[in-house]
């Protein structure tokens, strides 16, 4: 079945450091890929997404590229801020005619940025 | 627009008691999802509704969990009786569903209900 393997945390970085959180997936066909973020005390929010191979999703300085050849969707940011401290989830969704397939999540990576 | 609403935000019960959670999706969203998020894990789908019909409940422990969406709008998830391992955050999500731009249909999540079973 479908699965997502995510870099284990927690990850602690200094402000303005470069961030990479690894994510690889196993799926049949061509899933859509997502990064969700969960700030303390809040619900999951979509951070970025990519729906086909070689697509790059980007938002708030974060980027991730859908790499079919390596089945990966690594999250990167060039210069992190304290406000980026949160838990990050990689997820995939099977392709369907209506886009209402369930999300399969990784285990999450807790990121802490220290000033 | 208003987001996905959930209540209560927190609930503490003793094992073998019953509990119910409520979710009101974004207006016009036909698809509603309930996910269970155990501490340190990613959310796992429990049940998915399309309007008032069940699409997927393969991972719902049906001996103790039940869910309904009678009028195709808001939904209730119930646990009876609760076990210690049910301690988790229960997330409700909704999405607009349609063939147009299907690849872009996004799931919007509520704030969750944190359940502690003692």
Q: How far does Cα A93 stand from its chain's mean position?
A: 13
List of chain A residues whose C-beta atoms are within 8 Å of the C-beta of residue B48: 100, 102
> Rounded to an integer, what distance in angstroms lies between the CA atom of residue B49 and that of residue B58?
12
Please, what is the average pLDDT of chain A?
92
Q: Which of A78-82, A100-104, B100-104 has the lowest mean pLDDT?
A: B100-104
Residues of A with CB below 8 A from B111's CB?
A: 42-43
pLDDT number for residue B101: 52
Residue A59 in contact with partner chain B when CB distance is under 8 A:
no
* Per-residue CA distances from B42 to A104, A105, B27 (Å): 8, 5, 26
- For B32-89, write each residue's pLDDT tens digit: 999 999 998 899 999 999 888 998 899 999 999 999 998 889 999 999 999 999 999 9
Q: Extract the tokens encoding B68.
A: 């309904």
Condensed to tens digits (0 to 9), the pLDDT of residues A11-55 reads 999 999 999 999 999 998 889 999 999 998 888 999 999 988 999
The answer to whether the CB atoms of A97 and B4 lie below 8 A apart is no
Model confidence at A100, pLDDT cuts 50, 70, 90, reads low
pLDDT at A59 over 80: yes
Distance from CA of B45 to the nearest CA of A (A): 7
Residues 6+ apart with CB under 8 A from B15: B81, B82, B83, B84, B117, B118
Residue of B nearest to A33 (CA): B103
**Which pLDDT score is estimated for A43?**
86
Residue A106 has pLDDT above 60, yes or no: yes
> Does B104 sit within 8 Å of A100, measured CB to CB?
no
How many Cα atoms sit within 13 Å of A26 on the Cβ side? Answer: 4
Q: What tokens does A114 get?
A: 């220290």
């Amino acid at each position: 079945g479908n699965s997502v393997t995510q870099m284990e945390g927690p990850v602690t970085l200094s402000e303005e450091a470069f961030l990479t959180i690894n994510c690889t997936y196993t799926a049949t066909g061509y899933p859509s890929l997502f990064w969700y973020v969960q700030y303390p005390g809040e619900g999951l929010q979509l951070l970025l997404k990519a729906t086909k191979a070689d697509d790059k999703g980007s938002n708030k300085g974060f980027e991730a590229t859908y790499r079919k050849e390596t089945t990966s969707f690594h999250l990167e940011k060039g210069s992190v801020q304290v406000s980026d401290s949160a838990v990050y989830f990689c997820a995939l969704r099977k392709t369907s005619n209506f886009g209402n397939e369930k999300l399969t999540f990784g285990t999450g990576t807790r990121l802490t940025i220290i000033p | 627009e208003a987001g996905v609403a959930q209540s209560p935000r927190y609930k503490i019960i003793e094992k073998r008691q019953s509990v119910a959670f409520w979710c009101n999706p974004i207006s016009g969203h036909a698809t509603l999802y309930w996910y269970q998020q155990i501490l340190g894990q990613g959310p796992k789908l429990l049940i998915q509704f399309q309007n008032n019909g069940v699409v997927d409940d393969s991972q719902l422990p049906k001996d103790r969990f039940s869910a309904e969406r009678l009028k195709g709008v808001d939904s209730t998830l119930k646990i009876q009786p609760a076990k210690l391992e049910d301690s988790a955050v229960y997330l409700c999500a909704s999405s607009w569903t349609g063939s147009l731009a299907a690849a872009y249909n996004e799931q919007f999540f509520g704030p969750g209900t944190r359940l502690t079973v003692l």
